[in-house]
Amino acid sequence: MADAAVEFLLLNLKQLLVYNADLISGVKEQVEALYNELIMLKAFLKDSTEKRSEYEIVKALVRQIRVVVYEAEDVIDTFVVQTALQRTRSALSKAFHGIDYPAKLRSVAREIQSIRKKVDEIYRKQSFGFGVFNQLGETSSRVFPNKKAPVVEEENVVGFDKEAEMLVGLLNGGRKELEVVSVIGMGGLGKTTLARKVFTDPAIEYEFYIRAWIYVSQVYNRKDVFLDILSSLDKLTDEMYRWSDERLAEVLRGHLQSGRYLVVIDDVWTKDAWDDLKMAFPKNNDRSKILLTSRNREVANHANPDRLPHNLRFLTDDESWELLEKKVFRKENCPSELVDLGKKIAKECGGLPLAIVVIAGLLMKRDKTCEWWEKVADSVSSYVARDPKQCMDILALSYIHLPYHLKACFLYFGVFPEDYEIPVWKLIQLWVAEGFIQQVGEISLEDTAEEQLEDLVDRNLVLVEKRRSNGGIKTCRVHDMLHDLCLKEAEEENFLQEIKGLDQVHRSSVNPDKYRRLCIQSRVLDYISSKPCGPHVRSFLCFVGEQRELGREHTSFIYDAFKLLRVLDMKPILLSIFPVKIKELFHLRYVALYGSFEILPASISELCNLQTIIIETSSRTLKVEADIWKMLQLRHLFTNASSRLRGPPAKARKGGKDPLVRRNLQTISTISPESCTEDILARTPNLKKLGIRGKLATLMMEDKGGSSLFDNLTKLDHLVTLKLLNDTFPHPPSRGSLPQLYKFPPNLKKLTLADTLLDWEYMSTLGMLPKLEVLKLKDNAFKGGCWKALDGGFHLLRFLQIGKVDLVHWEALSHHFPRLQRLILKHCESLEVLPSGLWDVSTLQSLELHHASPTAVASAKQIQKQQQGFTINRVKLLVYPPEP
């Protein structure tokens, strides 16, 4: 999309001008001028973000901006690549390749000058565009009346009985002062339907003599809102149409003050909208209520910070089928031959009532035959999309009204396959590499990205699948209908193209020359064999379910096809050799590869823009020949094998800043114990995550002076996550030890141990780690039959996982784990019972037992029963395998 394209190009140009000006010598002045002119286009895009759905002139300008920005990006990126490659070649090689550099400079200068003229022309048009929609914007409140409220069918309401009962209880109870009760959820989920069901409930009608309903939506007029409420209360006169907002609000307050009232404010989009309207609602002491519905959690929290909003759930498969059957057959039953197909169709709607209603309307229009229903069942979302006014346009409102900085982040969900459970760490690294995340003060790009993801979740555009042990989002996804919306909007913007099968590979509609991102979901080897060519493609992502091995003859296809790549994710493709031509992808920022290689070659360190490296190999060890100290932008190094890092060059530091310090580097996982030297760790001061795999005895071994390699971790003040995996293959692990408390990183919050065979006495050391919140003891982390917890430890521990151990007796009281929320035991078959002291841990929320003894399961049930007496939510108990 144009917004993200301009942002990234500006960032790219700024980095070139500041850090790599030598690569654009000869055209620097032209690039600087282009940079300054693009800033004005950025301002236009930012201010026009919500006007594009209303004004065709704005849409046309945005399309022109996208085209010219892509053109500028291609010209400059291609020139930079050619310059960088030219400088790495020998004199003989330069002569052989025959590039006339001065002629190329003149050509690029002319191209940039031409682009600047186009930018200037767009800028003159944008001034006209601004005038048009500013003039209209000034009168928009008078030109555009309140949008028509959605039609709500009160019959055939399915799945809301318990939710309605709960809301009726909240509205009839509570404190004496005015209180706001909110219902939030994704568009089309049924918030209005539920609110209407509650509004017309006899118990509500009896308790609230004064009742009013107002539909707000995105565009509203405050005066009209107040007039509508007065009209519903039969208090409206002809004279009132001439009154001001303030006078109407005063009169409305007077009417509402006279008794207990309920006002439903349906479809509130912003905090400002609530602040704009709340002046009319008096805070009387009659237990009056406001029932507010919104797609945005932030709005609900703002309206009432003291009460959590009710998050409306999706329908279950059974409820979905019940609703579909009622809508299609009314009071009749579905013919038996259509039941299975009907259930499949209902399930494909993903629990979204709006989609079910739309598809029901489609099924009603034609004869109810198995052939027709099979056709619909095979492509439900496509049929829903054929009727945009009923469904897709409603969902699209959430996208249209997203803030400027979130639009590209949301569209990017179209990159992933439908129903794909997206690892958040991966999503964030991709967002950063794509240039969607802008630096905000001292906050890291990753933290900003996580905040933006939470914002999308709060807007009910992204669903949380799993939470991390520290409460953050671990995996997420988008609803199928929203995924279709992402693809639709992304295709219009030339943002990405999805390739699902071989038939699509050979269709003319696949045009990598047009799109900036390609997402391959199947038949990837066939796609590679088709010798694709995409000189403008910036991202190539592969999400093939089955693993495929790529022949040696094709390992260079990426460079041959896509020379300007920024993002390369080929993890489902098994590489027999490391693709050495990757070193020539100068703009590469993110690379994920899977293969059987044992070496990360030195040539990778020539990729000066690389931010994230993900290497999965079948080898147990990986020799990192790449010089990470040359890679100024490197932020994350992920390897599953034990990687041996090269130390920095042996240069004496002579005061001032150490040029080899890599402050951007946040993740190193997983490295060998031998790599934990002072030279390496002292130059990664901002490291947040560190994984160490290998013979941990090497890490803990003290020299004659009492020092060890582990001591080098002490200075990592920003380290919050540490994994210690004792890998002694082919020999079995031996009894381990831990260093003294003061040698651990001071701000450690999450610790994982595996195969360390520690004595349970070392738990006292771990318990004294001052900020430890998450402790994962994987298989064989500890050895011994008895663990007696000691006083004074684990003050902040919220998550405890214990893997395969020979523990028999565990003694603990509530004060040993005062903040424990989640306990997981896996393959602890010898453990007889859980400590009875866990009964008194008031914060405990869930217990998970995998392959536990019957007596341990019985004790867990007892804990669950005891907790029920003094906690709001009953402790969740999961036993696997399930009991018969």
Query: Rounded to 5 degrees, what are φ and ψ at 590?
Result: -140, 125
- 560 or 633, which is more confident: 633
Mean pLDDT on 863-883:
74
Are the CB atoms for 603 and 584 separated by under 8 Å? no
- Determine what percent of the chain is predicted with pLDDT higher than 90: 47
Q: Do 436 and 482 have their domain in common?
A: yes
Answer whether residue 501 shows pLDDT above 80: no
Listed in sequence order, the residues at least 6 apart from 142 whose beta carbon sits closer than 8 Å to its beta carbon are: 221
Query: Rounded to 5 degrees, what are φ and ψ at 703?
Result: -85, -170
CA–CA separation, 100 and 165 (whole Å): 78
pLDDT of residue 521: 85
b/e for 245-260, b at 16 or more Cβ within 10 A?
A: beebbebbeebbeeeb
Based on the structure, what is the number of domains in the chain? 4
Task: For residue 388, give both structure tokens.
Answer: 């945009």
pLDDT of residue 507: 47
Taking all residues of the chain, what is their mean pLDDT, rounded to a whole number?
A: 85
pLDDT of residue 654: 47
- For the chain, the helix, strand and coil percentages under 3-state DSSP, each to the nearest 5: 45, 15, 40
Question: Count of H helices and E strands in the chain?
Answer: 30, 31
CA–CA separation, 520 and 500 (whole Å): 6
CA–CA separation, 841 and 759 (whole Å): 26
**Alpha helices (runs of H) in 493-523, residue ranges in sequence order:** 502-505
Least confident window among 62-71, 167-176, 772-781:
62-71
pLDDT of residue 528: 84
Answer whether residue 88 shows pLDDT above 70: no
SS3 264: strand
pLDDT of residue 739: 93
Q: Do 374 and 441 have their domain in common?
A: no
Q: How confident is the model at residue 283 (pLDDT cuts 50, 70, 90)?
A: confident
For residue range 303-342, what is the model confidence (pLDDT) as tens digits?
999 999 999 999 999 999 999 999 899 888 899 999 999 9
pLDDT of residue 651: 63
pLDDT of residue 367: 84
Q: Do 481 and 376 have their domain in common?
A: no
CA–CA separation, 500 and 513 (whole Å): 18
Length of the chain: 884
Task: For residue 868, give both structure tokens.
Answer: 């029920």
DSSP 107-146: HHHHHHHHHHHHHHHHHHHHHHHHHHHHHHHHTHHHHS-P
Q: How many CB atoms lie within 10 A of CB 70?
A: 18
Q: How confident is the model at residue 145 (pLDDT cuts 50, 70, 90)?
A: very low
- 26 or 501, which is more confident: 26
pLDDT of residue 671: 95
Sign of the Cα torsion 603, 605, 608, 614 reads positive
Q: Do 373 and 410 have their domain in common?
A: no
Answer whether residue 833 shows pLDDT above 80: yes
- 97 or 489, which is more confident: 489
Element (H, E) at 222: helix 222-232
Mean pLDDT on 610-618:
95
b/e for 522-547, b at 16 or more Cβ within 10 A?
A: bbbbebbeeebebebbbbbbbbbeee
Answer whether residue 509 shows pLDDT above 50: no
Q: Do 132 and 218 have their domain in common?
A: no
Answer whether residue 42 shows pLDDT above 60: yes
733 in any annotated domain: no
Answer whether residue 563 shows pLDDT above 80: yes
b/e for 268-296, b at 16 or more Cβ within 10 A?
A: bbbbebbebbeebbbebebbbbbbbbbbb
284 in any annotated domain: yes
CA–CA separation, 769 and 747 (whole Å): 9
pLDDT of residue 682: 92
Query: Rounded to 5 degrees, what are φ and ψ at 147?
Result: -70, 150
Q: Do 183 and 274 have their domain in common?
A: yes
174 φ/ψ sector (left φ>0, alpha ψ -120 to 50, else beta)? left
CA atoms within 13 A on the CB side of 360: 22
Strands 422-423 and 497-499 come out as unpaired
Q: How many CB atoms lie within 10 A of CB 403?
A: 12
Q: Do 219 and 331 have their domain in common?
A: no
Q: How confident is the model at residue 808 (pLDDT cuts 50, 70, 90)?
A: very high
Last residue of a domain, one of 492, 514, 538: 492
CA atoms within 13 A on the CB side of 325: 21
- What amino acid is encoded at 524 in this protein? V
For residue range 324-333, what is the model confidence (pLDDT) as tens digits?
999 899 888 8
Q: Do 232 and 343 have their domain in common?
A: no
Q: Which DSSP category does 443 fall into? A: B
- What amino acid is encoded at 171 in this protein? L
50 in any annotated domain: yes
For residue range 409-462, what is the model confidence (pLDDT) as tens digits?
999 999 999 889 999 999 999 999 998 998 888 889 999 999 999 999 999 999
726 in any annotated domain: no
Last residue of a domain, one of 444, 468, 492: 492
pLDDT of residue 511: 58
Q: Do 242 and 367 have their domain in common?
A: no
Task: For residue 822, give both structure tokens.
Answer: 């989640």
Peptide bond into 639 cis (omega under 30): no
856 in any annotated domain: no
855 in any annotated domain: no
Q: Do 283 and 219 have their domain in common?
A: yes
Task: For residue 259, give both structure tokens.
Answer: 């008794």
- 22 or 465, which is more confident: 465
The distance of Cα 59 from the centroid of its chain, to the nearest Å, equals 28
pLDDT of residue 181: 95
Listed in sequence order, the residues at least 6 apart from 811 whose beta carbon sits closer than 8 Å to its beta carbon are: 786, 787, 788, 789, 835, 837
Range list of β-strands (E), 285-430:
289-294, 310-311, 422-423
Q: How confident is the model at residue 65 (pLDDT cuts 50, 70, 90)?
A: confident
Q: Do 101 and 12 have their domain in common?
A: yes
CA–CA separation, 828 and 805 (whole Å): 6
CATH of the domain at 270: 3.40.50.300
pLDDT of residue 71: 83
Q: How many CB atoms lie within 10 A of CB 432?
A: 21
Q: How confident is the model at residue 710 (pLDDT cuts 50, 70, 90)?
A: very high
Mean pLDDT on 12-28:
75
Listed in sequence order, the residues at least 6 apart from 45 whose beta carbon sits closer than 8 Å to its beta carbon are: 2, 3, 6, 62, 65, 404
Full residue range of the structural domain in which residue 330 is found? 325-349+356-384
132 in any annotated domain: yes
pLDDT of residue 29: 83
380 in any annotated domain: yes
pLDDT of residue 792: 87
Q: Do 285 and 331 have their domain in common?
A: no
